Structure 1
Amino acid sequence: MSRHSEQVPGYRTIRVAPQDAPVAALADVEAWQARDAYPEIYFAGGPVFGVAREREEGGWELHPYFSGLAPQDARDSMGPHFRRLAQEAERSGDQAAHEECMRAAERMDWEAVDEVTVRGDRYRVVRAEPFIRMGPAGPEPPRPTDPDPGEPGQAREVPDPTAGFVIDPITATGMSEGILKLELLSGGRKKGTVPPDVRADSLRAAETHPGGVLLPATFMTAEYLDGRWRPESTVNSTTPQAARDGLAMRLRVMAPWKLKLGAEERAEYARAADRLDEERGDELEVAGRRFRVVRVERLVRLGPDGPEGPRPSDPDPQPPVMVQNQQLREQGLLEDDDEDGPAELDEETQELARLFHEEERRRNARRERR
C-alpha cells in the first residue's frame, strides 16, 4: 500500500527537515520566536510580480528584482533579458538563436503575455502575496539573521538575494517556515475587506494553486500615523539597509521638497537621516514622526503547472512599452527625438533635481572617504 506522502502531489508538498547549517538553524529559532512576539499575520498591500524560468532539473529559477507592482513591470524586464541572450548568441555565432531571442524581445515590447518559451526554456510572470507579522509592539522589524550587506548609501549595489532562488516545494525547510506556509496557504481575503472580484480570485487560487513556497524576505518602511502603522513606501527593498537608504533619501530629498520645509526643519530631517546611516537602526523618530523598517514575507502559490501567474483582478494599468509609446504619439504627447528640444523644468521640479543631485554628491563623498 502506498504511503500517504506518496499520494500527495509534489506541488502540495511541504518538506520539513532539521537545519544543519548554524545560520539556518538559528534563523528557524528566530522564526519560531517571532510567532510569540508578533502573533498576527496581515496582508501587506497588493501582490508583487517577477519573472521565473523553468529548469530542466525541476523547479523555477527567479530572475533578479522580484518587485514589480503590476504584471507589466515583470513583463518589461523580459525584453532586455532576451536582448542580452540575443547578443550572447550573436557573439557565439548562433544566428538562429539570435533571431529567436530578438523575436521574443520584440514580442514583449508589443504584447502583454505572461508566459513565453525561448530556446526551449519556459519563462513566466510569477505572482507573490506579501505578508507582515504584527504584535503589541507593532510590525516585525528585521531579524538578526536576515542578511544585511552593503554600506549606508550603497545597498542598491548589492546583488539581489532573490536572484537565482529556485521555487521548488521539494526543497526542505525548517519547522517554523513549514508551519508559516500552512498558515498562509489557508488564509484568504475576508468578505468585505476587498472588492468581490479580488476575493473570488483569492478563493479560486486556493483551489487551483494549493501549494506554496516562501521567497527570501524583503523589507519596507512604515510610519506610525493616527494610532496605526501605515506603509511609508510602496517599494519593497531586498535588504534592511536598502530600506534604510530609501528612507534616508526621502528624509533628505522628498520630505523637504513635498513639505516645503524651511532651513531649520530641513536640517532636522538631515540629522535624522545621518543617525540612520551611522546607527543602522530599524526605528527612527524625527519632527514628531516615527518610522520603522518592517520585515515582509512573500508567498508564491503553486499548482500542477508551476507557480501562479497574475490574476484577472490584479491591477495592470500600463500597456507594453511600444504600445504605450504609440498611444502617446497618437495623442500628440510624444514627439520624435529630432523634433524634441530640451525639457524645461518648472521651479518645483528644479528644486527636486537640486536636492537629488545634492544627495548623490553626499553619498559619493561618503563612499570616497571609506
Structure 2
Amino acid sequence: MNPYGDDSAYRSAPDPTPDSAPDPAPDPTSDRAPDPVLDPAPEPGSPVAALADVEAWKARKTYPSTLLAGGPVFGVARERAEGGWELQPYFSGLAPQDARDSLGSHFRALAGAEPAGSAARAEYLAAGDLLDQDDAPDELTVRGERFRVVRAERFIRMGPDGPEPPRATDPDPAPGPGRTGDPVATPDPAAGLVIDPAPPGTSEGAIEAELLAALRKNDTVPSDVYDDSRTAARTHPGTVLLPATFMTAEREGGRWRPHSTGTAAAPRDARDGLAVHLRVLVPWQQDLTPEEHEVYKRAADRLDAEQPDELDVAGRHFRIVRVERLVRVGPDGPEGPRPSDLDPLPTDSRLPEQSRSAHEDDLAEPDASARRFLELFEEEHRRRTSRSSGGRS
C-alpha cells in the first residue's frame, strides 16, 4: 500500500510543521538562517530571471492550491570539498533503493576506469556491492568522497481549470542529435546543481515560504508519514526547489488523475511518454479494433507534430502537468529517506534460486496477450527508429 494514500487522484500534502498549532507563513525576509537554494542561479536582473519571477507569481494566482503529486522521488548528492552538495544525474527514483542502485552503478563505472588489481578499483567495487545488500546504507564515504541518498517531495499547483501545465520559461528542447523520442533522453536539469546556503532569489524565496504555509493538512496520510514530516521540519528546516519535472494527467468525471510517474525531465519527454501510451498500452489493455486503434495513433501523431500541452482523443482529455520538487536541508546537508518511505528490496536476486527458475519458466512462453504487446512495442520501436534516422513513419 502506498503510505501517501490513493494515487488515483491528487491529494493534499501532509503538514510539515513541528508544532501542533498553525504557524504563520515563514517570512523569507526574517533574520533566521537563510534557506539553501541551488547554485548557480540566474543572474539577478537578467531577462531570464525576470521572466521566471513573473511566471512564478502568475502561477501563484492562477493555480493557488498546492497538492502532492504522488510519493517522493530520490537521487544522489555528493559533498564537495569546497562546500555544498552536488546533485548527481537521474534524480527520479521512486524509492530509495532506486537511488542506491544508481549510485552502485556509478561506483562500478568508476571501478572500470581503474587499473585491474588496484586498491581504488577494489574499493569502488566493494561500495557497489554494499549498496546491493538488504541493509544498504543511505550514506557512505568512498575514497574520501561522501555520497548521500537524497529525498525530494513532489507537488503540483491546482487552479479552477485543473493542474498547472508547463510554463513558458520551462526548458523544452527540440529533437536533435541524440534525441530519438525516448522519454528518458533529456538529462535531468537538476544534475550538477549545488545545494549551497545562499539567500533565496525573489521567486524561490516566495514559493518556498508559500509551500511551507500551504502544506498544513494532516488528515490525508497515515500517522507515520505525518509524524515524519513534522520531524523533518525540525531537523531539516531549510528548503530547496529543484527544476521542475513533468507528468501526464487525465480528467475523468470532473477529477484529475495522475497518468504517469511525473519524472519526465522536459515537457516533450512527457508528451513522448503519452504518445507511447496511446500507440502501445491503450490498444493492448483495451483490446482495440484496428479502427479504434487508428484513432489513438492519429492522436499520438498529432501530439508528436504539434507538441500541445492538452490532448483530446476518443472522449478522453489529457494534460501535460508541471511537477515541483522540494528538498529539505539541515545543518548537515540535504534530507535523506524517511522511515515511512516505501523501500523495497534491491532486486529479485534476493529470491531463492528455485523461485527465480520458476519465474523464468513462466516468462519463457508468452501468451496471446503478451505477444500482442510485443507486436505493438516492436511497431512503435520501428516507427521511432525510422523517425530518428530521418525516415517516415
TM-score above 0.5, yes or no: yes
Aligned equivalent of 2:161? 137
Moved more, 122-131 or 11-20: 11-20
State the identity %.
58
With over 3 angstroms needed to count, the CA separation of the structure-2 counterparts of 1:300 and 1:341, relative to structure 1, is closer
Aligned equivalent of 1:335? 357
Aligned equivalent of 1:98? 121
Contact in 1 for aligned 2:36/2:196 (Cα 8 Å)? no
Aligned equivalent of 2:380? 359
Aligned equivalent of 1:221? 248
With over 3 angstroms needed to count, the CA separation of the structure-2 counterparts of 1:341 and 1:186, relative to structure 1, is closer
1:289 to 302, 316, 330: 316
Q: 2:382, 2:171 → 1: CA distance?
A: 27
With over 3 angstroms needed to count, the CA separation of the structure-2 counterparts of 1:44 and 1:326, relative to structure 1, is closer
**Which structure is higher in helix share?**
1
Matched, 1:272 2:272: no
Matched, 1:28 2:53: yes
Aligned equivalent of 1:320? 346
Q: 1:293, 1:257 → 2: CA distance?
A: 23
Contact in 1 for aligned 2:38/2:194 (Cα 8 Å)? no
Aligned equivalent of 1:346? 367
With over 3 angstroms needed to count, the CA separation of the structure-2 counterparts of 1:82 and 1:274, relative to structure 1, is same
Contact in 1 for aligned 2:37/2:240 (Cα 8 Å)? no
2:211 to 184, 192, 213: 184
User: Tell me, which stretches of 5 or more residues in structure 2 are unaligned?
Assistant: 1-28
2:202 to 153, 175, 178: 175
Q: Deviations along 1:91-121, whole A, 9 cap, x unmatched?
A: xx88121111111011111242100110111
Secondary structure, in 3 states, of the residue corresponding to 1:222? strand
Aligned equivalent of 2:70? 45
Q: Deviations along 1:320-360, whole A, 9 cap, x unmatched?
A: 23xx313242xx221399x9798211111111111011001
- Displacement, 1:84? 1.0
Contact in 1 for aligned 2:90/2:187 (Cα 8 Å)? no
Q: 2:37, 2:311 → 1: CA distance?
A: 41
Q: 2:300, 2:368 → 1: CA distance?
A: 25
With over 3 angstroms needed to count, the CA separation of the structure-2 counterparts of 1:336 and 1:85, relative to structure 1, is farther
Contact in 2 for aligned 1:54/1:123 (Cα 8 Å)? yes
Matched, 1:123 2:143: no
2:188 to 150, 160, 171: 160
1:202 maps to amino acid: S
Aligned equivalent of 2:107? 82
Q: 1:315, 1:60 → 2: CA distance?
A: 24
Q: 1:7, 1:166 → 2: CA distance?
A: 23
Q: 1:235, 1:13 → 2: CA distance?
A: 22
Q: 1:249, 1:258 → 2: CA distance?
A: 13
Secondary structure, in 3 states, of the residue corresponding to 1:156? coil
Bigger RCO of structures 1 and 2 (CA < 8 A, at least 6 apart): 2
Q: 2:37, 2:130 → 1: CA distance?
A: 36
**RMSD between aligned residues:** 2.6
Contact in 2 for aligned 1:253/1:352 (Cα 8 Å)? yes
Aligned residues: 358
Contact in 2 for aligned 1:184/1:299 (Cα 8 Å)? no
Q: Deviations along 1:1-46, whole A, 9 cap, x unmatched?
A: xxxx997445568999972332222112111111111111111111
Q: 1:27, 1:342 → 2: CA distance?
A: 50
Moved more, 173-182 or 76-85: 173-182
Contact in 2 for aligned 1:62/1:162 (Cα 8 Å)? yes
Q: 1:13, 1:364 → 2: CA distance?
A: 40
Q: Deviations along 1:163-186, whole A, 9 cap, x unmatched?
A: 11212231x543122111112234
Q: 1:367, 1:125 → 2: CA distance?
A: 35
User: Tell me, which stretches of 5 or more residues in structure 1 are unaligned?
Assistant: none
With over 3 angstroms needed to count, the CA separation of the structure-2 counterparts of 1:296 and 1:103, relative to structure 1, is same
